[in-house]
Structure 1
Amino acid sequence: MDIKLLDLKRNYESIKEDVDKKIREVLDSTQYILGENVKQFEKEFAEYIGVKHAVSVGNGTDALIIALKALGIGHGDEVITTPFSFFATSEAISYVGAKPVFVDVERESYNLDPEKIEQAITENTKAILPVHIFGRSCKIDRILEIAKKHNLYVVEDAAQAAGCEYKGKKIGSFGDLACFSFFPTKNLGCYGDGGMITTNNPKLEKVVRALRAHGSGENGQHAYNILNNIEEEVEKDEGDNTVYNPKKYYNYLIGQNSRLDEIQAAILRVKLKHLDSWNEKRIEISEKYTDSIKNHGIRCPLKANGKEMIYHLYVLEADDREKAINILREKGISTGVYYPVPLNMQKVYIGSENFENPLKVADFLSKRTFAIPLFPELTVEEISYIIETMQEV
């Protein structure tokens, strides 16, 4: 067999007719920038997550950067986060001029350990940035409790957690702001780059909307007024964002160009309708893996309650990871290593206080974890073959 880690073609084929139709409608409309599909997708995504506002952006990294900027976080500030994540998590903190402060993760969940957060808080700490890693919700209620006690912001990195829940409430609805990625490999992925910021705070929503488009126009003026305590009527922007909008030449904040394009929004509107059923299938396959893989050299991920884990990836541990990967490769089964170098040990952070002082759990996991194929379109035969092969590893 030849089984990919993720088969995007199979996913596309399952919704091809609806997606192709939506793309053609966008092309026929010639509204390519911040058009009706973007507006409707933001509305639909906000309703799905259970928040008042959702603001689409160009990608998940921009979502993190814009969220931190909207909170006024910058030079001299510190943000507590996890070392066991994709680089964008700490990169966004560094990009705005702040310092990432790495706190070790829990052994069972791989998520930021709430009980180690308070010892890392200083007078410069402004926010906590937890990651719901691999689609598993972190202990966000405990993190919020600590943040409230120390008057800190919470920005959720929900890049891998679209559809994930914690105690019956959707991830992305807890923090001051939450950030999603729609990179093609995500549970809810588009056919290029895309991202989203969610919030229940109307003032932050206006600032985020301004920052994503050069701090200009109606949203720029709203944001400027909010940040400067100005009360005045703002004329509604009725311009065409694709061809000519005169208000975009009036700038109020230093923002950036980070917009979800209309075609990607149209695709995501189609895919959002399938997200719950796809996540349920991921959970079903993952639980079958966990129940069936019996191998003393392999450790399966910890099971979760309901949708508190929606398995963006199915990540195993092996004492001899390279041997396991090589055996699977020989059998035609793809794998992926997430993550081989903890963020605090990346060369870009050489000289920081955590470098050459590994965080024990993150360092342990980085040497042992790897993912095996998991996507809703896996066949019964492929699942059985993967399980049988895992017994040989």
Structure 2
Amino acid sequence: MKDRKLPTLDLKRGYARIKDEIDQAVKEVLESQYFIMGPQVSGLESDVERYLEVPRAIGCASGSDALVLALKALDLKPGDEVITTPYSFFATASCITRLGGTPVFADVDPDSYNVTAETVLSKVTDKTKAFIPVHLFGQMVHMEELSKELEVRNVAVVEDCAQAFGSWRSIDETPVRAGASGVLGCFSFFPTKNLGGYGDGGMVVSRNQEMADRIAKLRVHGAGTTYFHDEVGMNSRLDAIQAAVLRVKLRHLDSWNEERRIAADRYRVLFAEHDLLGIVTPPVEDEGNYHIYHQYVPKVIRDRDRLLEHLGSEGITARVYYPLSLHMQRCFSFLGYDKGDFPVSESLTEQTIALPIFPEITEEEQEWVVSTIAAFYGKK
């Protein structure tokens, strides 16, 4: 066993499944010699608009840039507050401070790991400019419980969908995809994502045409016409090779997400078979959600870090998302938060562990993972 290796995500297996399609798509870009923006990028934008059922999609250079572009389009200014979660990747909060805004954190639900209407609405003040829900690990926030109330309070919703491309939630008996319920939705195409490129890439989707037009300018230094700049923007263009790769992968995304869901169900069954459910708590899929399991993140009741080391010693790569809540990061100390301010988020940083999950993971590999966990805890 110790000679075997299992990563949290095996990109090589994914490439092997669609190698011919990918190679042909990249070849066409190379032959065209059109590498920045152009027809592949506009084609991807159109594909995403159809898939998400949104009026506009604007490609950019990364998921982090997508968040910054969205907040710039909202005219976020120093003194403005943006409510979000402390249990997320760094870019969720840094996009706010980069523009001079103030992150205001709301604690999360211990089961879904997402913010709730109760925690968010209690943070709204007359300084609140926006709310950034993070659809963490591939599961959507209960947007229907927040959107109308925030609209009444003139708070814009900017969805952080970096981990949720293809996730949806049933709202009024209608499936609404992540990114399609806020005024703006932000996506990452980092290679490890469910819809990942072969380098950096991102996208903003918008239900507001005026904002979409502005973001399209902001990503090219604020230029409406080349060399004529309406405002100071960013250099955040999506390149054609990434767009071509993503267009191929988007065609397969739904079936890959379903394979992830099957793998997640298999983990739950294996935990029960190995008598681990009193020690390991599988991630909860909220009613009405279609969870795409970008990460498979259960909680363990004790010895999380030692378990992580044990798995690694056996050749199984597991990770911790996230080891330190955003409100405890040194660079955000100026916000004045202390340990204990967000107890659920803080407890999750100590209890959760991300196990290998990807469309091609085998039943035998999952059995290996769970039996290794069982052996660590002295179970059969």
Whether the TM-score (by the shorter chain) exceeds 0.5 is yes
Per-residue CA deviations over 1:135-165 (Å, capped at 9, x if unaligned) read: 0111111121331231110000000000000
Tell me which residue corresponds to 1:292. Answer: 270
CA distance in 2: counterparts of 1:30 and 1:14, whole angstroms = 26
Task: Note the alpha carbon deviations across 1:283-336, whole angstroms, 9 max, x for none.
Answer: 000011012213122111113457521000000112210121122122221101
Code of the residue aligned with 1:160 in structure 2: it is Q
| TM-score normalised by structure 2 residue count | 0.93
Confirm or deny that 1:262 pairs with 2:240.
Answer: yes
Verify the 8 A CA contact 2:169 2:288 in the aligned structure 1: no
1:272-291 deviation line (CA, Å, top 9, x unaligned): 00100000000000011012
Selected match of 2:291 from 309, 329, 333? 309
Partner of 2:66: 63
CA contact (8 A) 1:155 1:178 kept: yes
Alignment of 1:243-254 (within 5 A): 247-254=225-232
Task: Give yes or no for the alignment of 1:179 onto 2:193.
Answer: no
**In 1, Cα distance between the equivalents of 2:318 and 2:217?**
41
| Structure 1 residue 9: Cα displacement | 1.1
Letter in 2 for 1:300: P
- Distance in 1 of aligned mates of 2:339 and 2:370: 38
1:58 deviates by 0.2
The residue aligned with 1:387 is: 370
Residue 74 (str. 1) matches residue 73 (str. 2): no
Q: Which amino acid aligns with 1:82?
A: T
Determine the C-alpha separation between the residues in 2 that align with 1:333 and 1:304. Answer: 28
Deviation at 1:113, TM superposition (A): 2.0
Whole-Å separation in 2 of the counterparts to 1:85 and 1:387:
26
Residue identity matched to 1:284: I
Aligned letter for 2:9?
L
Measured in 2, the distance between the counterparts of 1:360 and 1:384 equals 33
Tell me the residue number matched to 1:279. 257
1:196 is the counterpart of 2:213: no
State the SS of the aligned residue for 2:31: helix
Give the Cα separation in 1 of the matches to 2:62 and 2:189: 7
| Structure 1 residue 105: Cα displacement | 0.4
Q: In structure 1, the residue corresponding to 2:140 is in which secondary structure?
A: coil
User: Larger deviation: 317-326 or 104-113?
Assistant: 317-326
Aligned ranges for residues 1-393 of structure 1 at < 5 Å? 1-167=4-170, 168-216=175-223, 220=224, 247-294=225-272, 295=276, 296-305=278-287, 308-318=290-300, 319-393=302-376
In structure 2, give the amino acid aligned to 1:261: D
Say which is worse superposed, 131-140 or 326-335, in terms of deviation: 326-335
Q: Pick closer, same or farther for the CA change 1:304–1:291 going to 2, 3 Å.
A: farther
% same residue: 42
Structure 1 CA distance, aligned partners of 2:349 and 2:87?
8
Displacement of 1:357 in angstroms is: 4.4
Contact 1:293 1:390 in 2 (8 A): no
Structure 2 CA distance for aligned equivalents of residues 192 and 37 of structure 1: 16
| Matched residue count | 364
Q: Give how far 1:391 is off.
A: 2.2
**What letter is aligned with 2:248?**
V
Amino acid at match of 1:301: P
Task: Identify unmatched segments of 5+ residues in structure 2.
Answer: none
TM-score w.r.t. structure 1 length? Answer: 0.90
